[in-house]
Amino acid sequence: MYMSRLFFSLIFFSFAFTIQSFSQCCSTGSPVGASVYVGVLNKNSLRTIAYYRHNSSNTYYEGTSINDENDQLESSNYNFMGFAFGYGITKRLTAETDLGYFFNKTQIFKSIDYAEKGYGLSTGGVTLKYGALVKPAKQFELTLGAGFRYPLSSDPQMVDGVQLSRDVQPSTNAFAVSGMIFLNKGFPDIKMRLFSINRYDHNFEDKLNYKYGDMLMNSIFVSKLIAKRLMGILQVRSEVRWHDQDNKETRSNSGNFLLIASPQLSYSIAGKWNMSLLYDIPIYKNYNGKQLTPSYSVALGLTRDFNLAKKSKTSDVIESMK
């Protein structure tokens, strides 16, 4: 049971920092959508998560090549804190919700001494996941999930009466829906697991008739117990984003294909808390038009599970006799 809880916590953190970006210049490691990638929880089990992510971008690409001619921006970065909660409604059905806060989403311009900065609450999310095929004895799981994201405000952020650019907005200001498939297979003899995630996100237009491009993400993970309470994970992730649409017109400098490697470590503290550290490294970039692209992203998270099931007096007596 301990290893099972640790494993699912690792899966959650593996994806809590990687899903569904809405800003082309800060695409990899966007923190929204944190709650959609863990397998189903036990009935009456509550999972609580808190995490922090820093992302930095400083290189322009056009297609697969660096293009540093007439660059507008020196760099961009963000710092984000997220929170998520999951609850096992039944042994096969899990509900999750998440929300977060950008301390900053910043663009630093090259030609002028100016930095544009956005901040505030991100888009929230709700997800339902169903364990379609769960075989604990064989350590195999197939889980299907669906959810939606919602804006806390439909209005773009304004600072000193001026509307901030989309790349530094803390929210998409629009709704989105998603579907996912999670596959897991454990190999207890060698203390290793293989698992994969396939996810598709569809974004709707905001009130200004702007639509962020849909996204398809596919990830493969290998996890291995390194030492007591310490586990290592290697993730290889592909992300495909379609063009953005502005009033039904395609934005040429939007959309991309990324291949990312993400080494991760997770440590169990006193058998109750799990701390995870990961580092995203883009290993292949292919961008439509010319765009500022991610250099790296690092994240730190903390999670804990709580069993909320109420035991009867009879069950307490049985437990005491064991």
On the 0-12 / 13-18 / 19+ scale of CB atoms within 10 A, 189 is exposed
In this predicted structure, what is the pLDDT of residue 111? 79
In this predicted structure, what is the pLDDT of residue 172? 92
Q: Coil, strand or helix: which one is 13?
A: helix
CA distances, 83 to each of 23, 99, 107, 266, 289 (Å): 20, 6, 25, 18, 35
Pairing of β 215-227 and β 210-211: unpaired
Report yes or no: 213 and 203 within 8 Å, Cβ to Cβ: yes
Centroid of chain to Cα 8? 15
List the structure tokens of 182.
Answer: 């999670």
User: Considering the entire predicted model, what is its pTM?
Assistant: 0.84
Q: Coil, strand or helix: which one is 32?
A: coil
List the structure tokens of 58.
Answer: 């400083």
Give the separation between CA 273 and CA 218, rounded to whole angstroms: 28
pLDDT 10s digits, 114-144: 899 999 999 999 999 999 988 888 888 899 9
Give the separation between CA 256 and CA 6, rounded to whole angstroms: 34
In this predicted structure, what is the pLDDT of residue 132? 93
Give the separation between CA 168 and CA 112, rounded to whole angstroms: 18
Domains of the chain, CATH where assigned = 2-321 (2.40.160.40)
Report yes or no: 121 and 170 within 8 Å, Cβ to Cβ: yes
Nearest to 192 by CA among 234, 142, 247: 234
Report yes or no: 15 and 37 within 8 Å, Cβ to Cβ: yes
In this predicted structure, what is the pLDDT of residue 17? 41
Give the separation between CA 297 and CA 279, rounded to whole angstroms: 6
Give the separation between CA 81 and CA 300, rounded to whole angstroms: 10
Residues 6+ apart with CB under 8 A from 202: 176, 177, 178, 214
In this predicted structure, what is the pLDDT of residue 311? 56
On the 0-12 / 13-18 / 19+ scale of CB atoms within 10 A, 44 is middle
In this predicted structure, what is the pLDDT of residue 146? 95
Amino acid (one-letter) located at 222: V
Residue-by-residue pLDDT tens, the chain, 322 positions: 444 444 544 445 444 444 444 444 444 344 433 333 467 888 999 999 999 999 999 999 999 999 988 788 999 999 999 999 999 999 999 999 999 999 999 999 987 878 999 999 999 999 999 999 888 888 888 999 999 999 999 999 988 888 999 999 999 999 999 999 999 888 888 888 888 889 999 999 999 999 999 999 999 988 888 888 898 989 999 999 999 999 999 999 999 999 999 999 989 887 788 899 999 999 999 999 999 999 999 999 998 989 998 654 444 444 444 4
Q: Coil, strand or helix: which one is 166?
A: helix
Cα torsion 143, 144, 150, 156: sign: positive
Alpha helices in the chain (DSSP H): 2-16, 313-321
Write out the H or E segment, with its range, that includes residue 230: strand 230-241
Phi/psi of residue 95, nearest 5 degrees = -115, 145
Give the separation between CA 1 and CA 277, rounded to whole angstroms: 23
Torsion angle, alpha carbons of 167, 170, 173, 175, to 10: 100
